[in-house]
Structure 1
Amino acid sequence: MTNMFQCGQCQRQYKRLDHLARHVRSHTQNRPHKCSICLKAFTRTDLLKRHAASHANTGSDQSATAHRLHGVDATPNRSQAQSPNPNFDVNLLFSDFPDLGLVSGSWTTPIPTTVPFDAAIELDDMDLQFLDTYNTTADQNEPASSTSNQIRAEAFRNFQWRFRPSVNDHAGAEEHNLSLPEAIDTTSPESRNLSKSVSSFPSVELLDTLVQYYLGSPMARTDSYIHTPTFDPNTKRPELVAAMAAAGAVLTLDPALVKLGYAIQESVRAALPEVWEKDNSLIRDLQLSQAFLISLELGMWSGYSRKAEISESFLQPLVTMLRRDNKFKKTRYLDLSLDPNLDDVSLEKAWHTWIDMEGFRRLAFRMMHHDAKSSMSLFASPLISYAEVQLHLPSSPQLWMATTPQQWKQAVLAQGSPQKLTLFDFLDNPEATSAPDVAVDEPLSREAFLSCVWGMAWEYIQTSSLQRAKPRRWNDFVTTTRRDELSKLLSHFQMSINISAPTTANLELLIRLELILLHLHTPFEDLQLFAGIEGPEQARSISPAVHEWARGEAARKAVWHAGQALRLTRQLPPGTIRDFTAIMVYHASLTFWVYGLVADQQGPARAQWTESPGDLAPPIVWLDELDGLLLQRFLQLGSGCPCINSLSERGEVVGVPLSSPDQVMEIVSEVLRANFDRATRPLLVEKLVQLVAGLQRSSRGAEGGEV
C-alpha cells in the first residue's frame, strides 16, 4: 500500500494518519494527553491509559472535599429564589436534536479505501488533530503559589482573551481535514491524501440537519437577518451553507460535532477573503457577508483565544465593506411602495428585491449588535459609531416572515403607510415603537437601541478614566451629568419593556441593560487589573484606586446592578447562559468579588456592614431583589449588609454576604453550571467557571489579610 501521509517538515511518509500525527508531535514536543491525577503528559492515549492504571492500583484516587456555604439565614420576600421563570415552556423552546447515529457511524464512504476506520467516529487524533494544540481543559489543581495575587494571575492565564501564539498556530493547520476541490486529479500528489478525508467527510444528510438545526434554534435567532421562508440551501452560496452548518454543529454541544463545526468555521473564514480577492464585485454580495459574520460570531464566542482574536480583527473589513457601500445610511434603501395591480411575475420580482434590501438593513443591525457585544466583552472601542447608523428601523415581522409574494402583498397593504422611525428617533423616545402607527421589528430595534447606548456609555467611560487619572486638570461635573443622563435614558427604556411575561430575548435585553448601568458606575478595567489579568505587579499598583472606588456610592450602585443581572440570569431557560450572556455573568461576578474583598478590609465600610444601634444584627440588603427602602439606605448611606440569595442544603433561602467573596463566587459558578443539565458545557462557559473558581481560591488567602 502507498504511503498516503507525509510530514511537512522532514518529508517522512506514513500509511496511517494517526502515525503521522504522533510523528508530528515529536517535532513540536506536544503532549496533549494529560493525566487527570498527576498532570503528567503523554503523546499517545495508550501510554496515558497504562499510566492511569498504575494510579488505580496504588489507590491514589482522590475524592473531592465538599464545600458548604455558611450564609446569613433569612428568608426574603421573593418568589422562586433560583428556579427558572415558570412562564417558560422548555419543551417548546428547544426542539429535540435528531439522533444522528454518531455511535454507529454516520459518515459517508464514497471512495473505497483499505485504511481501517473506527466505527464510532469521534474526530480525535485521526481527524481534526489540529485541535490537540488547543487547551480545552484548564488545570483544576490549585497553583503551587500560595499568594492570592499569583493565584489570580494564574486564573487568567488561559482566559478567552489571552492568546499566546505558537508555531503550531497557522491558517493552514486544518486545510487537509476539510478543504476538498471540486475536481480530483488522481495523478497529483495532493489527491493521494484525499481518500481518507473524502471517506470521513460528513454526509449531505448530516450537513443539512445541522443547517436546519441552526435555522430552528431560538438561541441563534437567524430569522432576524436571514429570510428563512425563501431559504433553499441548494440555491445559496456554499460559503453561507457551510457557515450555517458550522453554527448548527456548535449549537448541538456534541463534542465531535463541535470540533467539526469549528473546523468548518475556520475554513469558511479563510476562504471568504480569497473569494473576494478573486472577484471584487462580490464584496457587495449579501450571502457572503452573512457567511462571514456567522464565522466571526462563532469565533468570538468559541472559547478559543486564537479564534476570538482573529474574529475581533476580521470584523473591521466587513464593517468597512458595508460602510463604503453606505449600508448604514437610510439613503441607500428605497422606500417601500407597492402597486396593488401588479401581475404575479412583477410581484414576485418586487418581493425578492425588497428581501435583498431588507436583508442588508437587518445585516447592518446584526453587525452593530455583534460589535457592541464584542466591545463590552473585550472592553474595547466599538468599530461602529452610534452616530453613523442612520437607518430606518427594521420592518415588521409580518412583512419579513411572509412566505409568499401574495402574503407579503397583503401585509404591505394592511399596514398602510406606517410612520418611519430611525434609530435616532428611537433614542429620543424609547416608547416610540409602541405607537399604533409604527410597524417595526421591536426585538431587533431594542437590541440596536442598547448597542447605541453602549457607544455613548463607552464615551463616558473613556472620559471618566481620563478624569480619574488627572483630577486636577478635568472637572468631573460634565462626566457625572452625562452618566445621570444615560441612567435616565436606560430607566425610560426599561419601563417600555413588558416584564410581566418575560421572554428569553427580553431577559437578555434587561441583563444587558443592567450591565451597561454597572459599567457606568465601575472602573471595570481597574477591577480586572486588580483581579490579576495583567499579573501581580499591576494588581498591586492599581489597588489604591480600587480601594477608593469601593468607598463611594458608585460602587454600591454597581453591586446593585450586578445583583439585578444575577436575578435576571437565574430566570433564563436551561442551555441559554452561553456566549455573551455568560460574559455578562462574569462581569457581574467580578464586581461582587472586588467589592466584597476590598470593602470588607476597610474600617468605615466594614463598620457600616456590621454595626447597628443596640448591637442588633445589621439589616440584610438583598441585591438580587427588587427595589426597597433598605436598598435605598444602602445605596445612599452604605448601611446594612449587602447579600445575595442562595439555597441551603435543606432547601431554605439564605443570604450570602458580599463580605464572603469565596461563597459569592461559588454561587455564581453554580448559576453557570446549573444552566446545563448535562456534563457538556460550551468551552467559553467552562473557562469562565474555572476562572471564577480561581478567583474563589484566591479570595480565601486575601481574606487572611492580603489584598
Structure 2
Amino acid sequence: MWLPAGFDVAALDDSISTSILEWGSVNASTSYGSDQRHDDRDFHLRNNGAGAPGQSASNVQQDLSTSILGPESPLDSISTVSSSHQDLLDDKYREDLSHRLRPPINDHSLPSADFLNLCIKLYFTKFNPVFPIIHAPSFRPSSENALHLLSICSLGALFVGSASAAAQGRKIFHTLNKGILACSENYLNHGSRKVLSIVQAAAIGQTFGMLSGLQSDLLMTESYHGSIIAWARHGGFFKHKQSLSTVTLSDTSNLEQTWKDWVHAEESVRIVAGLQIHDAEFAIAFQHEPLLRHAPNKISPCCADDLFAATTAEQWLACLRKTQRVNSFANIDPSLQPVASSPDHNRSHMFAYAALAGIVASIQEMRCSLLEASSIEYFRSSLLTWHRDYALAFPGEKHDSANLMVLWHEAFMALYADFNQLENLIDRDRDPRSGRIGARTTIWSNSSEGRRSVLHALFIVKRLETLPVGAEIAIHVPRALFYSTIIIFNYMKTAATADMNIQLSPEDIELPEIQVSQPSVATAVENERASLTRLGSIDASLLCHIIDLLRRIGHWEVSRRYAGVLEGLLEDFAKQ
C-alpha cells in the first residue's frame, strides 16, 4: 500500500498548513531541538525509560527519579518593569511580552513523496498486521484523511531503520499532535467519517509515543488519551456493537458502496478496540487505574481476519456468504435478514487482543485498590477461559502474529507480582520505604506467587526466542520482556534457595495455566512435560541473554531503552 504516482504531496502540505497557523501562542514555548535535548535526559524507568549502555545501578536510580524539566519558560527572561511604579507596565515590558508570545518560526514542510511512499508501505506491511485498525485494501489518500495519512507516515518512518528517518517521523509526530488539537473542533462537527479519521490519526500517534523510546512522547500521548476517548464517544463509536448487523444481502447492485459502508462500521469497532488496548498499556506503564471500563460485555466483536483482509467488494461478499448465519423462517426470505454474527467472528486477532488487554486493565485497576484472593481466582479463571476460546478460534497456528500469548503470560505476572513494588526496590537508595519494600519482596520471592511469576517470565522469554527473524512484535512485547527481567532479577536477589535451576515440580505441571501454555500438551503430554521441566537456569547469563534479545527484537527504540536499564542492573549485580 503506497501513495499513487499522481498524488500531490504539496497539496497535502497545504491541507495541514491552516491547522499549523492556528496554533498561535499555544506553540510559543515549544521547539524540536529543546524537545530532543530534554527527552534524552529525562527518560526514566516507569515511563519506558532507560539508561545508557554500561550504566551503573546508581546512575539508573538517578534516571528513575529525574523529574521532567521542560524548556525555559517563554516568560522567564522578560525584562523587569523599569518604571518607578512597580504596579504599572512600560512599553519595553509590553514589547518583550509580545515577542515572547509569538510562535517560533519552524519549517513545517513535508519530506519527499518517495519518503512518504516508503513510510506508508512499511506501515501497512509491517505494523498494520499486528495492530489492524486501518482497512488497508480500501485506504486511499485524500484531503479528508490528510492528518490520518501523516500519522501513518510518522509511524512507518520507524521501520526505515535509519536515525534520520526516525527523526523525520518524530518531527511529523510532534507537528501532527499540535495540528490535531488545533483542528479537532472542525473535524468533530462534520460527521462520523471525519471524526473517525481524526481518532485514527490520534490513535496511531499514541502508538508512536509508546514506541519511540522518549519519555516526553509517552507523557504527551498519555495526556491526550482522555481526549481521544471523548472524540470516539462523540462519534458514537462506542455504540457500534457489530459491523455486520446492518449489512443485508437483498441487493447487490451497489455492492461497492455497501462494502465501503461496512468498512467504515468495522473500522469504528476496531478503533474502540485499539483504544481499549492503549488504555491497558497506559495503566500498566504508569501503574494507575484505566480510564475505560473493561467489562467483557463492553467489547464489540470485530469481524474475522479473512473478511477484513478482502481486497475487493466481490471477494468480501464471497467471504461473507461463507461465514454468514441467518435466521431462516418459512415465510421470510433469508436474504432480507440482517447478516448476523457467526462463531467465526471470534476469529479476529484484534478482538482477542482487546479482550485480553481488558483483563490486564482490570487486574491493574483491582491492584490499585485491593487485590484479594477471590479476585485473583476470578482473574485466573478469566485468563484460562480466554485461552480456551483463543485456542478454539485459532487451532494449530504456529505463529501468533499479535504475540497474544506473551500478553497472556504477562497478565499472570501482573496477577502474582506488584510491578510498582519491584520497580521501587530497584530505586532503593532513593526510596525511604526501600527497607519495607525489600522485606516484602523477599517474602514474595519465596512464596508460590513469586515462583509462578518467575515461571511465566521464563515462558515469555522462551516464546520470544522462537519468533521468526522477520516477524514484527506487538506493542506490549518490549514491556512484557522488561517486566519479566525485573521479576527474574528480584528473584535472583531475594530468593532463599541457592539452586537457581528452575525445574518444574509435579505440582507446577498440574497447574492449569502451565498445562495450557504450550499447544502440544494435549497431544503429547509426556514429551511436553519433559520440555517444560527444562526452562533453564536463573543466573546472570540469563539477564545477558534477555538484554541481547531486547536489542535485537523489532524496530522499537523503547526496546533498546529497556535494554539500557537492564545493562546497568546487570553491571551492579556483577560487582557484588
Q: State whether TM-score is above 0.5.
A: yes
Task: Note if contact 2:301-2:345 (Cα within 8 Å) is conserved in structure 1.
Answer: no
Which residue of structure 2 lines up, in the alignment, with residue 689 of structure 1? 563
Alpha-carbon shift at residue 630 of structure 1 (Å): 8.3
Query: Which of 433, 436, 450 is the equivalent residue of 1:538?
Result: 433
Query: Which of 257, 263, 269 is the equivalent residue of 1:355?
Result: 263
Give, as a single letter, the amino acid of the residue that structure 2 aligns with 1:377: A
Which residue of structure 1 lines up, in the alignment, with residue 290 of structure 2? 382
Distance 1:168 1:569, change over 3 A: farther
Q: Confirm or deny that 1:303 pairs with 2:303.
A: no
Query: Which of 124, 127, 130 is the equivalent residue of 1:215?
Result: 124
Query: Which of 444, 448, 453 is the equivalent residue of 2:354?
Result: 448
Give the TM-score normalised by the residue count of structure 1.
0.60
Percent identical pairs in the alignment equals 14
CA distance in 2, matches of 1:578, 1:255: 21
CA distance in 1, matches of 2:458, 2:130: 31
CA distance in 2, matches of 1:169, 1:302: 25
Which residue of structure 2 lines up, in the alignment, with residue 164 of structure 1? 68
CA distance in 2, matches of 1:241, 1:552: 51
CA distance in 2, matches of 1:414, 1:499: 19
Distance 1:390 1:631, change over 3 A: closer
Equivalent residues, number:
477
CA distance in 2, matches of 1:634, 1:394: 32
Find runs of 4+ consecutive structure 1 residues off by over 6 angstroms. 190-194
Distance 1:287 1:389, change over 3 A: farther
CA distance in 2, matches of 1:265, 1:663: 38
Distance 1:491 1:226, change over 3 A: closer
Which residue of structure 2 lines up, in the alignment, with residue 646 of structure 1? none
Distance 1:166 1:534, change over 3 A: farther
Alpha-carbon shift at residue 685 of structure 1 (Å): 1.6
Give, as a single letter, the amino acid of the residue that structure 2 aligns with 1:352: K
The residue correspondences of 1:663-682 to structure 2 (distance < 5 A) are 663-675=541-553, 682=556
Distance 1:282 1:376, change over 3 A: farther
Alpha-carbon shift at residue 129 of structure 1 (Å): 4.0
Alpha-carbon shift at residue 331 of structure 1 (Å): 5.8
Give, as a single letter, the amino acid of the residue that structure 2 aligns with 1:215: F
Question: Which structure 2 segments of 5+ residues have no match?
Answer: 3-9, 14-30, 42-49, 75-101, 328-340, 513-533
Which residue of structure 2 lines up, in the alignment, with residue 402 of structure 1? 310
The residue correspondences of 1:101-140 to structure 2 (distance < 5 A) are 129-130=33-34, 131-135=36-40, 138-140=51-53
Q: Confirm or deny that 1:588 pairs with 2:484.
A: yes
1:217-256 Cα offsets, whole Å, 9 max, x none, are 1x34278221212211145521111111111111222110
Distance 1:632 1:389, change over 3 A: closer
CA distance in 1, matches of 2:383, 2:343: 28
CA distance in 1, matches of 2:459, 2:416: 14
Which residue of structure 2 lines up, in the alignment, with residue 71 of structure 1? none
Question: Which structure 1 segments of 5+ residues have no match?
Answer: 1-94, 98-106, 111-126, 144-150, 171-189, 420-434, 466-475, 611-619, 636-653
Alpha-carbon shift at residue 203 of structure 1 (Å): 1.4
1:47-88 Cα offsets, whole Å, 9 max, x none, are xxxxxxxxxxxxxxxxxxxxxxxxxxxxxxxxxxxxxxxxxx
CA distance in 2, matches of 1:278, 1:385: 28
Which structure would you say has the larger RCO, counting Cα contacts within 8 Å and 6 or more residues apart? 2
Which residue of structure 1 lines up, in the alignment, with residue 424 of structure 2? 529
Name the SS for the 2:290 alignment partner.
coil
Q: Confirm or deny that 1:492 pairs with 2:402.
A: no
1:260-319 Cα offsets, whole Å, 9 max, x none, are 001101111111111123454148421111111111110122111011011111011111
Alpha-carbon shift at residue 325 of structure 1 (Å): 4.2
Alpha-carbon shift at residue 408 of structure 1 (Å): 3.0
Distance 1:656 1:699, change over 3 A: farther
Task: Note if contact 1:330-1:391 (Cα within 8 Å) is conserved in structure 2.
Answer: no
Name the SS for the 1:693 alignment partner.
helix
The residue correspondences of 1:49-448 to structure 2 (distance < 5 A) are 129-130=33-34, 131-135=36-40, 138-140=51-53, 142-143=55-56, 151-152=57-58, 154-158=59-63, 164-167=68-71, 201-217=110-126, 219-221=127-129, 224-234=132-142, 236-278=144-186, 280-282=188-190, 284=192, 285-330=195-240, 335-343=245-253, 346-387=254-295, 390-417=298-325, 437-448=343-354
Give the aligned CA root-mean-square deviation in angstroms.
3.7
Which residue of structure 1 lines up, in the alignment, with residue 20 of structure 2? none
Alpha-carbon shift at residue 656 of structure 1 (Å): 6.4
Which residue of structure 1 lines up, in the alignment, with residue 515 of structure 2? none
The residue correspondences of 1:499-518 to structure 2 (distance < 5 A) are 500-505=396-401, 508-518=403-413
1:330-388 Cα offsets, whole Å, 9 max, x none, are 46967233244442xx3333222222111111111121122222323333222221128
Higher helix share: 2
Task: Note if contact 2:344-2:393 (Cα within 8 Å) is conserved in structure 1.
Answer: no
Which residue of structure 1 lines up, in the alignment, with residue 331 of structure 2? none
CA distance in 2, matches of 1:483, 1:192: 51
Which residue of structure 1 lines up, in the alignment, with residue 96 of structure 2? none
Distance 1:401 1:332, change over 3 A: closer
CA distance in 1, matches of 2:381, 2:324: 36
CA distance in 1, matches of 2:263, 2:464: 35
Which residue of structure 2 lines up, in the alignment, with residue 23 of structure 1? none
CA distance in 2, matches of 1:192, 1:598: 53
Task: Note if contact 1:621-1:631 (Cα within 8 Å) is conserved in structure 2.
Answer: no
CA distance in 2, matches of 1:335, 1:527: 46
Alpha-carbon shift at residue 417 of structure 1 (Å): 2.3
CA distance in 1, matches of 2:202, 2:221: 10
Give, as a single letter, the amino acid of the residue that structure 2 aligns with 1:669: I
CA distance in 2, matches of 1:587, 1:299: 19
Distance 1:156 1:357, change over 3 A: farther
CA distance in 1, matches of 2:383, 2:63: 35
Task: Note if contact 2:51-2:568 (Cα within 8 Å) is conserved in structure 1.
Answer: no
Alpha-carbon shift at residue 549 of structure 1 (Å): 1.2
CA distance in 2, matches of 1:629, 1:412: 47
Task: Note if contact 1:530-1:539 (Cα within 8 Å) is conserved in structure 2.
Answer: yes
Alpha-carbon shift at residue 488 of structure 1 (Å): 3.8
CA distance in 2, matches of 1:223, 1:540: 42
Alpha-carbon shift at residue 494 of structure 1 (Å): 6.3
Alpha-carbon shift at residue 402 of structure 1 (Å): 3.0
CA distance in 2, matches of 1:454, 1:223: 18
Alpha-carbon shift at residue 553 of structure 1 (Å): 0.9
1:93-139 Cα offsets, whole Å, 9 max, x none, are xx9x9xxxxxxxxx9xx9xxxxxxxxxxxxxxxx9644344328944
CA distance in 1, matches of 2:122, 2:297: 32
